[in-house]
Amino acid sequence: MRIVIVGAGAVGSYLAERLSAEGQDVVVIEDNEDRAADLQDRIDALVITGNGASPTVLQEAGVDRADLLIAVSNSDGANVLACHVAADLGVKRTVARVEDSDMREAVAGLEVDFVIDPGEAAAFELGALVKQSGVSELVEFGGGSLTLVGATVPPTSPLALKPLSELRVNQSDFDWVVAALVRHGETIVAHGDTTIEPGDHVLIMVNSEDVDRATGLLGVRHHVIERVVILGATRLAELTAAHLTSEGYEVIVIDEDPTRCRKLAEHQGKTLVICDDPTDPDTLRSLNLDERDAVLGLTGWDEVNVLGCLLGKALGASSTVARFNRIEYVSLLQGTGIEAAVSSRLIAAGAILRFVRRGRIHSVVTFKDTDAEAIELEVGKNSPAVGKSLVDLGMPRDAVIGGVLRNGQTFVPSGISTIETGDRIILFSMPDSITTVEKLFAQT
């Protein structure tokens, strides 16, 4: 697939690296010479320095032969214009990042096939993590009927130090399947002979009504959160504050910039805004944090987010979540007291990757400490998987099916479950096997 990416910022560069590593035919357009040169040194793809909305530059990038144009620069207007021009030049599909809500309503008819706002999606993800405190992931599939729950397993977890085949027999009061785990930076797609160790980051799929049971199985201690302290008055902080206050939480935002504080206070009348250093222990201590509090580090600096969350945890908060730009930091935080991390670039990547994957893809989720993907796709009528049980599918060793949605009903499959035409399945796969599983389930 030929893919043209406009903008080599956090989202664009991440997508370019991931897609070029998969062997996709990637072209990146970036108007900043230094950023373009840096990316060219890191990826095996063509990087063009220029204006991504220029017809001349888009023609140089071969957009007329492209299957997809992804416009993710820092300018909403430039992204929409790039999609419009590229469509006129013959690109098959277009995706634009648009953060301005008024502009999102106005893009109809401007040749933008899909609009994403990573900040808005991240705010809802943060809300879910606050509600189900202690977990590292909480991702819905199948229209909300299946949920992927992730957490770092403590020594007290019922999952620890037993083969999964034995656990499935002893923990059979509800349906669940361990999809994958990350251990010392290595991803292991789970099978019956897999044994989970304390400290593993485990991803488990369950029916949504069984999320509380899943957290108990993982050994997660859940606290009911009443107050949320947000560090930083960024756009993500404002979106998250608005979402949390609408859900009934008491919200406090701390930022040392008076202009940002004044702006947020004007927009969020129900939010208490404190203009002070979010990493000052005295400032956090004055809030008398306890187990009913969560601390969210949402500044634009990873180091500030980490430090603020660690201080919040030390001063009594039961749950902490940090925003990250540098994904490589996430794997270093296991055991530090920071339960979860959010990344706008990963959220954007997941939204965009469903346009890259083959077959009828409903959603794609990428993760913070592994290259594995969770893909929700529909089984085609001529798929070679139709009529076969899971044990007879011949799935790659590093891929596993975590859930099935059939005729409005969902279930977590076992080895004897069979695949039917029209099933929506949620599968987990490492990059090397994604093409194989797509061919297995897509309509031929």
Domain range annotation of the chain: 2-116, 127-218, 223-342, 348-441
E strand map for 219-301: 227-231, 250-255, 272-275, 293-297
Tokens of 304: 């500030």
Q: What is the pLDDT of residues 190-243, one digit of tens each?
A: 888 899 999 899 999 999 999 999 999 999 988 999 999 999 999 999 999 999
Fold of 127-218: Alpha-Beta Plaits (3.30.70)
CB atoms within 10 A of CB 109: 7
pLDDT-derived band at 334 (thresholds 50, 70, 90) equals: low
Four-way CATH pick for 2-116: 1.20.1250.20, 3.40.50.300, 3.40.50.720, 3.10.20.30: 3.40.50.720
Question: 4 versus 143: which is more confidently predicted?
Answer: 4
- The tokens for 441 are 């389930």
pLDDT of the residue at 184: 84
Question: Residue 3: its pLDDT value, please?
Answer: 96
Q: Give the CATH class of 223-342.
A: alpha beta
What secondary structure, in 3-state letters, does 341-400 show?
EECHHHHHHHHHHCCCCCCEEEEEEECCCCCCEEEEEECCCCCCCCCCEHHHCCCCCCEE
Confidence (pLDDT) at 331: 63
The predicted pLDDT at position 22 comes to 83
* Whether residue 264 has pLDDT greater than 70: yes
pLDDT of residue 104: 79
- Above pLDDT 90, what percent of the chain? 64
The packing angle between helices 235-246 and 258-267, to 10°, is 30
The pTM score is 0.85
What pLDDT is recorded for position 106? 77
| pLDDT level of residue 109 (50, 70, 90 thresholds) | low
The arithmetic mean of pLDDT across residues 149-175, rounded, is 87
Instruction: Say which CATH architecture domain 348-441 belongs to.
Output: 2-Layer Sandwich (3.30)
Asked if the model's pLDDT at residue 24 lies above 70, the reply is yes
Give residue-wise pLDDT tens across range 275-309. Answer: 999 999 999 999 999 999 999 999 999 999 999 99
pLDDT at 96 over 70: yes
Whether residue 444 is predicted with pLDDT greater than 80 in this model: the reply is no
d(CA 125, CA 300): 18
Matching CATH topology for 2-116 and 348-441? no
- Torsion sign (Cα): 384, 386, 391, 397: positive
